[in-house]
């Protein structure tokens, strides 16, 4: 986890919260991985719970974009209704981000 924070240190404040969403894909992927690491494995989150968790780890007030990106890049899964979210067991690797 510390390695991930080190990769995006320029995007984190003193409290280790993401202060902006990186424009470059590789940095953005590290930021998404950082946020995914905050989730508990095997737990099912409601949309509200996931938004609260994401809001605790970023300062720019856009949990919906972060949730969509986490899903689109396969860090998290969701049920068909979009009401339950979970951390995927297999996370995308940095080698896939190239």
SS (H, E, C) the chain: CHHHHHHCHHHECCCCCECCCCCCHHHHHHHHHHHHCCCCCCCCECHHHHHHHHHHCECCCCHHHHHHHHHHCCCEEECCCCCCEEECCCCCCHHHHC
pLDDT computed for residue 1 by the predictor? 63
**Predicted TM-score (pTM) of this structure:** 0.93
pLDDT computed for residue 46 by the predictor? 97
Tens digit of each residue's pLDDT, the chain (98 residues):
688 999 999 999 999 999 999 999 999 999 999 999 999 999 999 999 999 999 999 999 999 999 999 999 999 999 998 889 999 999 998 888 76
Nearest-angstrom CA–CA distance, 67 and 40: 15
Number of structural domains in the chain:
1
CATH of the domain at 57: 1.10.10
- Find the domain containing 53 and state its range: 2-97
pLDDT computed for residue 3 by the predictor? 87
């Amino acid at each position: 986890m510390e390695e991930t924070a080190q990769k995006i240190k320029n995007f984190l404040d003193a409290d280790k919260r993401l202060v902006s969403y990186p424009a470059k894909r590789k940095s953005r992927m590290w930021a998404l991985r950082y946020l995914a690491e905050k989730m508990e494995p095997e737990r099912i989150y409601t949309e509200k719970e996931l938004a609260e968790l994401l809001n605790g780890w970023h300062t720019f007030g856009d949990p919906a974009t972060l949730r969509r990106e986490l899903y689109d890049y396969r860090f998290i899964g969701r049920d068909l209704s979009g009401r339950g979210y979970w951390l995927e067991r297999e996370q995308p690797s940095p080698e896939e981000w190239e």
